[in-house]
């Protein structure tokens, strides 16, 4: 297709109902908007019967990689043993055998909040009794707050996540002792 054919096609498309010609300056402004607003993931322009603009936002929270254990190289003449990994957190050490505990897992990817609003009391603490259907936390996904409910009744023995951090689908959030 020659440049003249392309221009003729562009003029014809401008006359079609539901389709507005896009000026290069508009595209440049949209590209600048994407650079200035990192929470905008993409902008999609549609024409004809799907006329409109679709703007996709990305999560403002990015999961930080967990630090790997640091091993030091042995000094000449010293034994070549690697240091033992650190002890598990107190909440894991105090928990009963993992096989007897029921896990509440994340049903989605998002940012987890342990309380309904900043400064409020958390929904549950270690040692709290929960009933099936009780809200135990909130996961924010795509700017929507989703209440996560306990699937089992019992006593919370472990909170396996930290407040206001990203969680993955299927990640263990709580461990509950149904016999407690």
Could you tell me the pLDDT band of residue 158, with boundaries at 50, 70 and 90? very high
- CATH number at 91-177: 2.40.50.100
Write the pLDDT tens digit of every residue in 110-129.
999 999 998 999 999 999 99
Model pTM?
Answer: 0.47
3-class secondary structure per residue, the chain: CCHHHHHHHHHHHHHCCCCCCCCHHHHHHHHHHHHHCCCEEEEEEECHHHCEEEEEECCCCCCCCCCCCCCCCCCCCCCCCCCCCCCCCHHHHHCCCHHHCEEEECCCCEEEECCCCCCCCCCCCCCCEECCCCEEEEEEECCEEEEEECCCCEEEEEECCCCCEEECCCCEEEEEECCC
**pLDDT attached to residue 135:** 95
């Amino acid at each position: 297709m020659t440049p003249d054919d392309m221009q003729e096609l562009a003029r014809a498309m401008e006359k079609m109902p539901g389709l507005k010609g896009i000026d290069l300056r508009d595209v440049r402004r949209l590209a600048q908007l994407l650079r200035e607003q990192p929470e905008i993931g993409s902008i999609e322009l549609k024409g004809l019967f799907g006329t409109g603009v679709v703007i996709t936002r990305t999560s403002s929270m990015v999961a930080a990689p967990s630090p790997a254990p640091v091993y030091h190289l042995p000094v000449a003449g010293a034994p070549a043993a690697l240091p033992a990994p650190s002890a598990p957190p107190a909440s894991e050490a105090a928990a009963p055998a993992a096989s007897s505990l029921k896990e509440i897992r994340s049903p989605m990817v998002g940012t987890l909040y342990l309380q309904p609003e900043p400064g409020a009391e958390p929904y549950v603490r270690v040692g709290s009794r929960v009933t099936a259907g009780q809200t135990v936390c909130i996961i924010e996904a795509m700017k929507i707050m989703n209440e996560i409910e306990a699937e089992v009744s019992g006593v919370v023995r472990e909170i396996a996540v930290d407040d206001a951090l990203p969680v993955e689908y299927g990640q263990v959030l709580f461990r509950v002792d149904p016999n407690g």
